[in-house]
Structure 1
């Protein structure tokens, strides 16, 4: 039976000196003996504070949260399970047991902590709440999975399932990327309600809502290319076709009403419509190929298990 001795607590940090000591203390008191702090070049002594409180501190070679997570898991974790969280004291050690239970029971390979289940006052601005809701709905529509809170930084996963993911994001898009990979690769995922606390006074957030929100939306759309090609190419095709049709209507109206011809615009219109239709057709074909590929992989897995 798995226990806390099989878990590494992974905390990527950048200028978290005000809170990292409390985070390390909370998880060590909860019974975790391996708290790994991946330091991202802080200028406020985050590494010294973490080490003083008993954390194992390593220094990432690159920059950004995504790079810290990838490097931390792949190079410094040798235990079977990883409990990942931010170093800003917004996540509770009291929720760790619930996060790990689906892994220990073999019910899931990846667990997401749902912050909206118990979000304390002041933990998130109204603007950020709206943005989070939009991103979650967009993810469910594009990738066909409802994970509740894909931007949550509180995660638990097996090291084996993490190794099956193809991750490249360097910044805050890492959570979105992991959620997409879970949906794409059929990694069994559970959603657990957690409490989300406001940041303690005196600590500053590294999140930039508009910039990071834009990066996340682009990541969702970019990843749809291989997970939902009909949406990816179809949306481009519809946009191109509609643009071509609007230009065509304008050219026709101008020709009929004032006898002015727009040869160049007519060519652009035709080009837009043709490209749009081709993209739609390509999206349908790509979606068919992806469906056949998934069916083939499922049959191979079934035969392997039965054999």
Structure 2
């Protein structure tokens, strides 16, 4: 099976190079591709990516078992959900994994996620920052918001997920092809989870523990309490449909 690594990027000039290097080294014996989607960056990220593409990414990524690096340039900033949809459509792999461009997550954690899918035990695997791996201690209101969103979604979807808002979601390509995604921003996490869990295909869902090296707002973190409020309203909207 082939793995597509979809990386939405917005103003990450200081971290995107290191992220590309780390994901290219992960799962060295698996055929894979990287799909980078720049969502209208204004800090030089867009130009840097275009320059690296012109050099065929030479010296930046490991070529072993890497079929291609694709670059998608959104004309303007539309949000994480829109960037991910663009990346999904450009993906050619049998399995897709989402990777943020901010160094908060470690691609070495894909090993167990990939194994569950490769062995035919799972169709969808979520990482969980609450299952025993190292994680940076940061904002209580982020923890509270995530737990609240996860609890409400579990009620709506009859699931037991511990970390709905996690970046790391690995899934068979047919999972996203089975749904219509419309949320442009961080509401993607809620929309994807609800539509996946409610699918008549009854996808097999697993969670695995992952490490988390969170950033402060001063270090570039973008999600805010406003995104949490939007997520709660989105859950309510799905609940009454």
Which band: TM-score by shorter chain? Answer: 0.7 to 0.9
Which of the two has higher C-alpha Rg?
A: 1
- Which structure is higher in RCO with an 8 Å CA cutoff and minimum separation 6? 2
Q: Normalized against structure 1, the TM-score is what?
A: 0.67
Cα offsets for 1:87-140 (capped at 9, x unmatched): 111110110111211211111111111012235233x41111011111111111
Q: Distance in 2 between matches of 1:179 and 1:114?
A: 14
Tell me, yes or no, if the aligned pair for 2:33 and 2:93 is still in contact at 8 Å. Answer: no
1:28 corresponds in structure 2 to 24
8 Å Cα contact 2:136-2:212 kept in structure 1: no
Alignment of 1:78-117 (within 5 A): 78-117=92-131
Shift of 1:48: 4.1
Structure 2 unaligned regions, length at least 5: 62-68
Q: Partners in 1 of 2:217 and 2:237 — Cα distance?
A: 37
2:231 alignment partner, one of 216, 234, 246: 216
After superposition, what is the alpha-carbon deviation per residue over 1:246-268, rounded to whole angstroms, capped at 9, x for unaligned?
xxxxxxxxxxxxxxxxxxxxxxx
**2:6 touches 2:36 (CA, 8 Å); kept in 1?**
yes
Give deviations 1:42-80, integer Å, cap 9, x for gaps. Answer: 011223444353443211356111011112112x11111
Kindly state the Cα deviation for residue 225 of structure 1 after the two structures are TM-superposed.
Answer: 2.7
Partner of residue 43, structure 2 = 44
State the match for 1:296 in structure 2: none
**Alpha-carbon offset, residue 200 of structure 1:** 8.3
Q: CA deviation at 1:199?
A: 2.8
Query: Deviation of residue 34 (structure 1)?
Result: 1.7
Aligned residues of 2:72 and 2:86 also touching (Cα < 8 A)? no
Structure with a larger share of its residues in helix: 1
Shift of 1:218: 0.9
Match of 2:64 in 1: none
Greater shift, 145-154 or 32-41, is seen at 32-41
Q: In structure 1, what is the Cα distance between the partners aligned to 2:193 and 2:134?
A: 21
Q: Counterparts of 1:184 and 1:33 in 2: how far apart (Å)?
A: 29
- The SS at the match of 2:143 is helix
**Aligned residue in 1 for 2:11:** 15
Secondary structure (helix, strand or coil) at the match of 1:113 reads strand
Q: Counterpart in 1 of 2:86? A: 71
Equivalent position to 1:133, from 141, 147, 150: 147
Contact 1:89–1:200 (Cα < 8 Å) also in 2: no
Counting matched residue pairs gives 219
What is the correspondence of 1:163-242 to structure 2 with a 5 Å cutoff?
Answer: 163-185=177-199, 186-199=202-215, 203-208=219-224, 210-226=225-241
Partner of 2:130, secondary structure, is strand
The alignment's C-alpha RMSD in Å is 2.0
1:195-230 residue CA offsets vs partner (Å, 9 max, x unmatched): 11123897411212x21001100111111134xxxx
Equivalent position of 1:120 in the other structure: 135
Is the CA contact (8 Å cut-off) linking 1:140 and 1:146 kept in structure 2?
Answer: yes
**Structure 1: gaps spanning 5 or more residues:** 227-307
CA distance in structure 2 between the partners assigned to 1:196 and 1:49 by the alignment: 26
Partner Cα distance (2:99, 2:80) in 1: 11
Q: How far apart, CA to CA, are the structure 1 residues paired with 2:204 and 2:240?
A: 22
